[in-house]
Structure 1
Amino acid sequence: MQSGIHHITGITRKIQANVDFYAGFLGLKLVKRTAGFEDADQLHLFYGDAAASPGSLVTFLAWEDGSPGRVGLGQPAEIAFAIRPEAIGFWLTRALTKNVAMSGPTQEFGEPVLRLKDPDGIIVKLVGETGVEGPAPHVTKEITAADAIQRIRGATIFSEKPAETAAFIGSHFGFRSVAEANGIKRLAGDAGDILDIRDASGFWTSAPGTGTIDHIALRAPDRAAVEAAAERLAAEEAGDVNMHDRTYFYSLYVREPGGSLVEYATDGPGMAIDETLETLGTTLFVPKHFGAAPEDVRARLPQFSLPGEERMTERDLPFIHRVHRPETPDGTAVVLLHGTGGNETSLLPFGARLAPGAVLLSPRGRSADEGYPRFFRRITATTFDQKDIAGEAEAFAAFMEGANTAYGLDPAKTLFVGYSNGANMIGAVMLLHPGIIRNAVLLRGMNVLENAPAADLSGVNVLVVSGQSDPYGRFAGDLEALLRASGATVESTLLAAGHDIGTADLELAKAYKERIIG
């Protein structure tokens, strides 16, 4: 039975920082970028050696601005890469000069080890392995083949059942026990990859989230081996076993007795089936089983720059937000405010179709309604927390002032598009903070201010789009009248629609932007 590590998958909160560390600092090659196989709105990046060899791959799911997880029982806890022992000095110096958190070198099972922390806090070990020879180490301007990461050395698993965990991995995936010390049982595969099973009895349980390792994938020679393993696991009633065709490999997932998720993945067909070795990692792959339009998926995924590429740094502003830059900017911008239950990605496809050449800025509401993001709290379906509206409108005004400077937005060429609660927020900001918003499209909006102040909205352009069968549509007239009375130029359209928005809304918004901004 062939045995070894195929890849290790973690979860990151900020994809740009992740790319800067793994591709920039560590010098790994970005070999594949995909939309998630379980969630098309989740970016999944694969790093590896120059040939994307199985056994060199570390992958990350992007939970952009997601909640941190907790490392604990039933979870992998460390990633180890193999380097040549004489390269330890190079990496020690590199960590010091690049201000990367580091400790060591120390000795672990007779090997020199440098411990680093990636931007999410995941422990990354560089292990000096005697005689290591990677199949295709990636060379950069700063890292030679002699100093480069050669391949994955191994990983650590926290288990309160270390003996059972070790026996399970040994019997089903071909690893064997080779050493034991300091509460760690070391297993090795045929290629020399190691799994350290740490006795973590009494430790707290893990919690999924950013800054954690989701799973370890072990190597299978082919699909037949995966299917045979699935039969063995089912016969032993080892728990739920799921098999999937991941395009680049075929695999199963199962939890070992200590609770950690283990994948068993085939070496083939490999990462280069839809790209050449030279172009690896340059094309976004969108799994076809979602039936999603690739351009919509692409708009929702976070953008990033590789080392040496021109980049846009996301600024720390009062609202969590997403910025999407088009390939060919036309000097305009669209700010998108989601409705209840949405988030900063919900309207990005709408914005990309509305204005393909515009910079898109989409914030996440900071209030919550039964756990769903909103821009301000509601008391009933048609009454709202006035203090929350005032406070969030003030914060949003500050957000836009900062965003205009940070991202080079021209207020005169910026269109604000809001849906439902987002449209209501735009209306409130216009009245409470005149001058922030000059052009707006309000989809299914209503007035939420009980005592709207006098405001000078001369020069402000607003399109209000209501739904004929929208239960809240009867309130749109009050908002239109209030904006007109304040001096705004207001156009209104009633669609044969309900509260949801669709193609008709998109076409109206697109034509309106072309007419008032260009």
Structure 2
Amino acid sequence: MRHQGIHHVTAIAGPARRNLDFYTRVLGLRLVKKTVNFDDPGTYHLYFGDGLGQPGSILTFFPWEHVAPGRNGIGSTQETSFRVPEASLGYWAHRFIEQGVEHGTVEKRFGQSVLTFKDPHGTSLALVGTPNAESEPAWTVEGIPAEHAVRGLEGVTLLVENGERTGAILTDVFGFRETARDGSLVRYKTDALMGSTVDIRSAGGFLPGRMGGGSVHHVAFRAKDDAEEAEMVRKLAEIHGLQPTEQKDRNYFRSVYFREPGGILFEIATDEPGFAVDEPQDSLGAELKLPAFLEPRRSEIESHLPELA
């Protein structure tokens, strides 16, 4: 059984146009897929990632025009981080100043240099300086040199009351291993190149998180195929007493969902069939893609979606 870390992270944003501009122009990610929220088709579902749209590189958004701001707190994903070359953090700090991006100063976590920042809708993000990342392929856009480009997700930081049971799911079910501790922060890793890190911060007595603009809606973990996903579901039930949802077809992966013991929504998503299933690799994200059951409503849906260009 192969365990490969995080598949994608899905968050909530404000106006779609601003969301698209920030992640493609300012951060330099590729718009991998332009579709809608299958459960709320009046809203876009935008997928950003690397040039190939690989699992482990993907951050997705449900952008709602008038969403109220969320709040980080207990039972929420506190931060989502990206991998960049180790020598690139100075470049990014300068770019954030130029682009008016709210950001912190470079800090050290578990021996790595980290630059925190926020997107326009308050999503807490970070860039993690990663050795040898400059030798990996990069999706490039105008104004961001290839040697500084984002190389995919690094991971997430979860904030929970008590992280022990959450950590047990990461190790028993998803194949992570505990690698370090620093006070209330515990690090779990896999050998995946992207999406390999989950940090759990235990903090009793804090206010609970509130879902809204800037909040992470869920974190999805990779399963190679249906059989591997089914085995993960079996372990969740037999070892941890958790019952995920039935499998849902999301066109680009097949998913089950459950709330881990700390209250955060987790997803298990298959690598198959991938984002090139309904448009060529070289034109990913070019057209609005709808699942077959929504295709008869295309005109109605398109008329209600805001313009992106």
The reply on whether 1:299 has 2:303 as its aligned counterpart is yes
* CA contact 1:53–1:135 (8 Å) conserved in 2: no
The reply on whether 1:266 has 2:250 as its aligned counterpart is no
The 2-side partners of 1:136 and 1:30 are apart by 17
Aligned residue for 2:290?
A: 286
Q: 1:264 is matched by which residue type in structure 2?
A: I
User: Would the alpha carbon gap of residues 150 and 51 (structure 1) be closer, same or farther in structure 2, given more than 3 Å must change?
Assistant: same
The reply on whether 1:207 has 2:210 as its aligned counterpart is yes
The 1-side partners of 2:221 and 2:106 are apart by 28
Q: What secondary structure is seen at the aligned counterpart in 2 of 1:234?
A: helix
User: Would the alpha carbon gap of residues 72 and 89 (structure 1) be closer, same or farther in structure 2, given more than 3 Å must change?
Assistant: same
Aligned residue for 1:69?
A: 70
Q: 2:187 is matched by which residue type in structure 1?
A: R
Q: What secondary structure is seen at the aligned counterpart in 2 of 1:93?
A: helix
Aligned residue for 1:395?
A: none
Q: How does 1:96-175 map to 2 (within 5 A)?
A: 96-132=97-133, 136-175=137-176
User: Would the alpha carbon gap of residues 75 and 257 (structure 1) be closer, same or farther in structure 2, given more than 3 Å must change?
Assistant: same
RMSD: 1.5
The reply on whether 1:25 has 2:39 as its aligned counterpart is no
Q: How many residues align?
A: 305
Q: 2:73 is matched by which residue type in structure 1?
A: G
The 2-side partners of 1:67 and 1:86 are apart by 37
1:440-492, Cα deviation, whole Å (9 max, x unpaired): xxxxxxxxxxxxxxxxxxxxxxxxxxxxxxxxxxxxxxxxxxxxxxxxxxxxx
Unaligned runs of 5+ in 1: 306-518
Q: 1:222 is matched by which residue type in structure 2?
A: D
1:12-64, Cα deviation, whole Å (9 max, x unpaired): 01112211211110000101011112111121000011111111110001122
The reply on whether 1:223 has 2:226 as its aligned counterpart is yes
The 2-side partners of 1:241 and 1:233 are apart by 12
The 1-side partners of 2:45 and 2:23 are apart by 14
The 2-side partners of 1:134 and 1:164 are apart by 37
Aligned residue for 2:279?
A: 275
Q: By how many angstroms is 1:87 displaced?
A: 0.8
The 1-side partners of 2:237 and 2:294 are apart by 28
Match for 2:201 among 198, 201, 205? 198
User: Would the alpha carbon gap of residues 296 and 136 (structure 1) be closer, same or farther in structure 2, given more than 3 Å must change?
Assistant: farther
Higher relative contact order (CA closer than 8 Å, sequence separation 6+): 2
User: Would the alpha carbon gap of residues 166 and 133 (structure 1) be closer, same or farther in structure 2, given more than 3 Å must change?
Assistant: farther
Q: How does 1:315-326 map to 2 (within 5 A)?
A: none
Q: By how many angstroms is 1:136 displaced?
A: 3.8
Aligned residue for 1:3?
A: 4
Q: What secondary structure is seen at the aligned counterpart in 2 of 1:284?
A: coil
Q: By how many angstroms is 1:159 displaced?
A: 0.7
Q: What secondary structure is seen at the aligned counterpart in 2 of 1:104?
A: coil
* CA contact 2:84–2:151 (8 Å) conserved in 1: yes
* CA contact 2:41–2:301 (8 Å) conserved in 1: yes
Q: Alignment identity in percent?
A: 37
Unaligned runs of 5+ in 2: none
**Post-superposition, which runs of at least 4 consecutive aligned residues in structure 1 deviate over 6 A?**
none
Q: 2:160 is matched by which residue type in structure 1?
A: S
Q: What secondary structure is seen at the aligned counterpart in 2 of 1:103?
A: coil
The 2-side partners of 1:137 and 1:269 are apart by 23
Q: By how many angstroms is 1:203 displaced?
A: 0.9
The 1-side partners of 2:135 and 2:271 are apart by 16
Q: By how many angstroms is 1:292 displaced?
A: 4.4
* CA contact 2:255–2:268 (8 Å) conserved in 1: yes
The 1-side partners of 2:127 and 2:171 are apart by 25
Q: TM-score, normalised by structure 1?
A: 0.57
The 2-side partners of 1:119 and 1:65 are apart by 14
Q: By how many angstroms is 1:182 displaced?
A: 3.1
Q: By how many angstroms is 1:5 displaced?
A: 1.0
1:182-235, Cα deviation, whole Å (9 max, x unpaired): 311100122151001011211111222211000111111111111222223233
Q: 1:167 is matched by which residue type in structure 2?
A: A
User: Would the alpha carbon gap of residues 136 and 273 (structure 1) be closer, same or farther in structure 2, given more than 3 Å must change?
Assistant: farther
Q: By how many angstroms is 1:134 displaced?
A: 7.6
Match for 1:250 among 251, 254, 272? 254
Bigger Rg over Cα:
1
The 1-side partners of 2:298 and 2:135 are apart by 35
